[in-house]
Structure 1
């Protein structure tokens, strides 16, 4: 009953129904080659590059021009009466209809998160300026997902129209599109600058109500206020404008090109005469401007082709550079930087000298960033896109590397994340181009783990949800929630379409579900168009299927579906020989007769990182004794109990506090030893669902003063290196990556003889014992008595070469 109510509620929810309606339109509509949809600045205005192209194409009566705006107030009345110009509100039914029928889509920012280009549609993204300040992920302290929709739009773009090659490079790099952008770059110059060079200045002065004899100074600062506190910055701008009016030669008038928040403030206070009206196109406005004053705005790049002077005014250039960052050295700017209004007024009074002083820098900017701003950019644009003319201005980014798309799980603190980071930081980037995907909430642990990746690894953050019809949504829900056979009921087209929404036109050679537990990503990669599809098995997967946490089989529902689609993968890769043997036997019904190749690929280890981190231990005095200061994931804490007493024998276990890790057996074994031996300590590093139960167990067995739960550590290697013996108590493992890490540090090692661990320690690298508390106790006692636990030294360099070779061979 609850499920039925939930479904009915969604069907009457306008926002929920937007995607089913859009999807239905995509499946039903055919493209009309005579319709162009324009959108500029999320529908805030009819301006920018889309507007310049629109004006040039307007005379073609065979074309229907549709403008997407966020409200009717943004309609330019000059075009409201034309039969071949239509206006639609973003997210409306008409918007969705034109979004799925217009053959040409022209935007200078991004379409909504649900947008995905239809087969045959041509998407032209013009962006909106040459960047002085950093973009996307290059912005300091930016949220990792803040620019995900722009990235998604870029990956669907057919033509990226750029003012210069510098902008193309910075835009693609800062949104992790370098190397995977599937479209073409049109290095043609900006159509909007044509308007600056061609619009009659007298006509613009008339629109502005400025006398023809007056020279105009335009003040166009970047908005730096806060929503809800617009008056703070607006009042300062008013004071600045009034100061300039009172302290510059009478031949000039001063106008303010303000952010719309600021404009609203001025309007409410009857001061809008000081501002340029919002509806006026900025580039047409620049045709009448004699002097431009700005700070960090890219507007000055559009103004430079006029040859007129630019002045920079900001009190916080150094602070802004420190907190936001610039791509261009501000010392090279083609005009003086003024930090006070007095300096600015003085510069205005000495423009002739300034033009002479900055002539060389001005010309350098013209050559580097504006060489194609000759008034013909729009014509080049139209010839290439609408008349299909060959041109040297068109550049296709070619990448001959093998392109890999990997979903690595949640990137939360767990073994899969550790193994993914180790692999991705060891891979040969000369041969492979790697992109990883994430989904879900960006937690602190997830962000920290992503930051550990090599900077050459690109990240695509999935935002938004599935574009699905009502029927597809029901099938997707039913497969996940009810005992329905996935084989006949899976909506494969839905998953193909969703992957396309995320990665756009990018063609990846190999798709890898490295996590192996996430239903959606297993389905997306299984149904994707890759030359090879690989799914990892990080454990004895039947044991994972049967695992019970808090009375529930946590993975049963997910793995039921994932097992059923193994046959859609070319390779199923276990992470150890013993895990392969278990999975091949236990899951044979899912592989027989389907052609899926079963292999094992050892986890790579980042031994250089391990060896470096082991020595990054800090010490402090606590209760008169030396203590290790351990950095947690979100703070640095002196953890009570970590007193490095040289008289103690220190055991350590690292792993999730979860049933399969068997720490309950370890605590029982340790408690028995404590009744016979003094000076023993057990450190348990990690976090998980059993933390309270394990702490209660230690208290019940009266060893809570000897068992130290450290929580999740950002550097567990420092503590591991200072302990005497590593103990793995797992009930099963895929491989036991932490065993390898202990062996890199040459630590005596004890492990239960279970799947995964056996493959690591067999042959004399450590002590394997039965999977019981008693066997663990006996093994630990043998170490206490001084028995040597291994007769081989782990050659981690050779191991890693072999592990990577196994991975590379699987990709071929």
Structure 2
């Protein structure tokens, strides 16, 4: 039994019952196994973050062994069958229940997702799950990550609170979030993740505006909650302009037919991508600009940009699959080696000292857990809990990124962007935007060339392409 996210596993021995010869050299072996599932989870899960959405996936394998002689090291996945119930609730501890949600993988194998609720919240959830609820109010739930209130979700929530009275906006956030203070003015319309109020509004709501996935709005991903998500009208606010990556596998309507009802985009160019590559009809796409752009562009002229020209922000994207690596394996990646080398380059350090430059490194949300692996005497490593992406974009005059759409956000401010693409074979990269003509800044593969350009940009502060 394996925890896919943490790469931890536990081996259990089954009880052999009988072996039936069905052909001369073919036997049907019958066995049974009893699993103390809560105890298994305590063994293969190192940390339970109750206030966050649980992304844990458990996989099941089988292998055969003999006390007489070696047989095989091969582990076969256990096949999903209809014998498995949709879900099982178990006592995880004296104070908490765990949901085991069985499902069939794309290859027909058995896996399960899990979720935790405290006993009193579980009872309340089960009560609301079966009660008759009428959607009498125009309640619109708004969520980013459960622990975030920083970008399009926050901007849209503030707009709804201040500019209209048709809808009742409800922002969902973790009680432990560092961003709660950003919602202080509107706490009457804020509910904490997995609270009774969250459960109430979740089952009452008829609209959901999300920046990543509608699943971040659910208290726990039970069958009833999943059905409720399907029934909601879902507005996708996005969290960045679609620029370099092909996102069909994440947001495409063919792959995820129930994910989005209305897709918000920033331009006609982006609309054509959502229509032609993500397979949404034009009536389901709205060209409005992203919600956070209002504040990004406010009081943001050339003078404001020039004042921060010596503040350099390094904000790379992530690499799919590498967010699951151990610290040791992550330090062996091209990504780590390239950026750790850059922030320790003696030439760049001399530039910082001679020209009075400030350099900050901000890792993507999926790589934030590796912050401690990046060290430098002259570059500041910024934690996500210390600030917001919007604040970083407004407070810096030069951006260094690789494939991130944040480069397009930065360019909207008419500030220079430098692209450091040391691993140019990015698998998800869109063909059109891999060309040098698309991006609003020069592309560099070599560290020294990038440092030369940083020095030039300080002297001659302007965009390469508008």
Say whether the fold is shared (TM-score over 0.5). yes
* Aligned pairs for 1:253-652 within 5 A: 253-260=358-365, 262-267=367-372, 274-279=380-385, 280-317=387-424, 319-320=425-426, 324-332=429-437, 333-351=439-457, 358=464, 362-363=465-466
Cα distance 1:338–1:147, how it changes in 2: closer, same or farther (>3 A)? closer
Cα distance 1:342–1:107, how it changes in 2: closer, same or farther (>3 A)? same
Mapped to 1, the partners of 2:452 and 2:137 lie a distance apart of 55
Mapped to 2, the partners of 1:306 and 1:290 lie a distance apart of 9
Asked if structure 1 preserves the Cα contact closer than 8 Å seen for 2:323 and 2:366, the reply is no
Cα distance 1:94–1:269, how it changes in 2: closer, same or farther (>3 A)? farther
Distance apart, 1:274 and its partner CA: 1.3
Deviations for 1:96-138, whole angstroms, at most 9, x for unmatched residues? 432222343110122127545679954211222233333244x
Cα distance 1:354–1:151, how it changes in 2: closer, same or farther (>3 A)? farther
Cα distance 1:94–1:83, how it changes in 2: closer, same or farther (>3 A)? closer
Q: Secondary structure at 2:436's aligned position in 1?
A: helix
* Residue of structure 1 in register with 2:88 after alignment: 10
Mapped to 1, the partners of 2:349 and 2:263 lie a distance apart of 41
Distance apart, 1:342 and its partner CA: 1.0
Mapped to 2, the partners of 1:294 and 1:6 lie a distance apart of 46
Mapped to 2, the partners of 1:106 and 1:189 lie a distance apart of 15
Cα distance 1:152–1:16, how it changes in 2: closer, same or farther (>3 A)? farther
Residue 325 of structure 2, aligned match among 228, 232, 235: 228
1:33 is the counterpart of 2:137? yes
Asked if structure 2 preserves the Cα contact closer than 8 Å seen for 1:36 and 1:106, the reply is yes
Cα distance 1:291–1:341, how it changes in 2: closer, same or farther (>3 A)? same
Deviations for 1:55-93, whole angstroms, at most 9, x for unmatched residues? 333436977643334662354323247432423326x66
Asked if structure 1 preserves the Cα contact closer than 8 Å seen for 2:143 and 2:153, the reply is yes
* Residue of structure 1 in register with 2:289 after alignment: 189
1:216 is the counterpart of 2:311? yes
Deviations for 1:613-668, whole angstroms, at most 9, x for unmatched residues? xxxxxxxxxxxxxxxxxxxxxxxxxxxxxxxxxxxxxxxxxxxxxxxxxxxxxxxx
Mapped to 2, the partners of 1:335 and 1:189 lie a distance apart of 21
Distance apart, 1:33 and its partner CA: 3.3
Asked if structure 1 preserves the Cα contact closer than 8 Å seen for 2:402 and 2:419, the reply is yes
Q: Secondary structure at 1:222's aligned position in 2?
A: coil
The structure whose RCO (Cα within 8 Å, separation 6+) is larger is 2
Mapped to 1, the partners of 2:127 and 2:366 lie a distance apart of 35
Cα distance 1:8–1:286, how it changes in 2: closer, same or farther (>3 A)? closer
Mapped to 2, the partners of 1:48 and 1:83 lie a distance apart of 18
* Residue of structure 2 in register with 1:568 after alignment: none
Q: Secondary structure at 1:242's aligned position in 2?
A: coil
1:170 is the counterpart of 2:273? yes
Asked if structure 1 preserves the Cα contact closer than 8 Å seen for 2:149 and 2:182, the reply is no
1:237 is the counterpart of 2:342? no
With 48-57 and 298-307 compared, the bigger mean Cα shift is at 48-57
Residue 66 of structure 1, aligned match among 170, 177, 180: 170
Distance apart, 1:178 and its partner CA: 3.7
Q: Any gaps of 5 or more consecutive residues in structure 2?
A: 1-33, 35-82, 91-96, 102-114, 116-121, 216-220
* Residue of structure 1 in register with 2:203 after alignment: 100
Asked if structure 2 preserves the Cα contact closer than 8 Å seen for 1:103 and 1:122, the reply is yes
Work out which of the two has the higher radius of gyration on C-alpha atoms and give 1 or 2: 1
Residue 87 of structure 1, aligned match among 180, 188, 191: 191
Q: Higher strand share goes to which structure?
A: 2
* Residue of structure 2 in register with 1:246 after alignment: 350
Q: Secondary structure at 1:287's aligned position in 2?
A: helix
* Residue of structure 2 in register with 1:510 after alignment: none
Asked if structure 1 preserves the Cα contact closer than 8 Å seen for 2:142 and 2:171, the reply is yes
Cα distance 1:118–1:10, how it changes in 2: closer, same or farther (>3 A)? closer
Distance apart, 1:313 and its partner CA: 0.8
Q: Secondary structure at 1:98's aligned position in 2?
A: helix
Cα distance 1:117–1:168, how it changes in 2: closer, same or farther (>3 A)? farther
Cα distance 1:169–1:99, how it changes in 2: closer, same or farther (>3 A)? farther
* Residue of structure 2 in register with 1:57 after alignment: 160
Mapped to 2, the partners of 1:216 and 1:355 lie a distance apart of 12
* Aligned pairs for 1:779-794 within 5 A: none
Asked if structure 1 preserves the Cα contact closer than 8 Å seen for 2:244 and 2:430, the reply is yes
Q: Higher helix share goes to which structure?
A: 1
* Residue of structure 2 in register with 1:77 after alignment: 181
Asked if structure 1 preserves the Cα contact closer than 8 Å seen for 2:300 and 2:413, the reply is no
Mapped to 1, the partners of 2:143 and 2:162 lie a distance apart of 19
Mapped to 2, the partners of 1:236 and 1:329 lie a distance apart of 20
Mapped to 2, the partners of 1:117 and 1:221 lie a distance apart of 36
Q: Secondary structure at 1:36's aligned position in 2?
A: strand
Root-mean-square deviation over aligned CA pairs: 4.3
Deviations for 1:594-631, whole angstroms, at most 9, x for unmatched residues? xxxxxxxxxxxxxxxxxxxxxxxxxxxxxxxxxxxxxx
Tell me the TM-score normalized by structure 1. 0.36
Asked if structure 2 preserves the Cα contact closer than 8 Å seen for 1:335 and 1:354, the reply is no
Distance apart, 1:155 and its partner CA: 4.3
Cα distance 1:52–1:304, how it changes in 2: closer, same or farther (>3 A)? same
Asked if structure 2 preserves the Cα contact closer than 8 Å seen for 1:49 and 1:190, the reply is yes
Aligned length in residues? 334
Mapped to 2, the partners of 1:8 and 1:307 lie a distance apart of 52
